[in-house]
């Protein structure tokens, strides 16, 4: 009986919780996922390749796990967007905030 009015669907939980809501179509699922100011991680479980591609492109999250419980490798970027983070850590992205790109030419 989870719906968009439930507290768990409107706050960013930090715990082993997995609220599951039914949806009529992908448009409705994407709108519900993106309506919140949070964007750490999204999980997608589907056998439909087209749906997984669309969801990975349209979900506003720093990480999208498709048919995966969400293990992240140390060399992979880890981070959220919106109110869930300010960039990524892990991987090359860890250093990007400390670097300045400079083009130098000489003839």
Domain boundaries, the chain: 7-96
- Its pTM surpasses 0.75: no
Q: Which fold has domain 7-96?
A: Aldehyde Dehydrogenase; Chain A, domain 2 (3.40.309)
Which helix (H) or strand (E) segment is 64 a member of?
strand 63-66
Which DSSP state fits 85? -
How large a percentage of the chain has pLDDT more than 70?
91
Max mean pLDDT range (48-52, 65-69, 86-90):
48-52
Q: Is the pLDDT of residue 21 over 90?
A: no
Beta pairing, strands 38-39 & 81-82: antiparallel
From CA 26, how far away is CA 23, in angstroms rounded? 7
Query: Which of these, 25, 19, 22, 51, lies nearest to 38 by C-alpha position?
Result: 19
Report the pLDDT value the prediction gives residue 92, as an integer from 0 to 100.
73
From CA 60, how far away is CA 38, in angstroms rounded? 8
Mean pLDDT of 70-99: 73
């Amino acid at each position: 009986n989870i719906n968009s009015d439930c507290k768990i669907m409107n706050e960013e939980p930090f715990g082993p919780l997995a609220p599951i809501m039914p949806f009529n179509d992908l448009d409705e699922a994407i709108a519900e996922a993106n309506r919140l100011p949070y964007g750490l991680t999204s999980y997608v479980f589907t056998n439909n390749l087209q749906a997984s591609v669309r969801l990975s492109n349209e979900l506003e999250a720093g990480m999208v796990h498709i048919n995966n419980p969400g293990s992240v490798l140390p060399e992979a970027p880890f981070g959220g967007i919106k109110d869930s983070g300010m960039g990524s850590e892990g991987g090359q992205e860890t250093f990007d905030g400390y670097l300045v790109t400079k083009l130098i030419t000489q003839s």
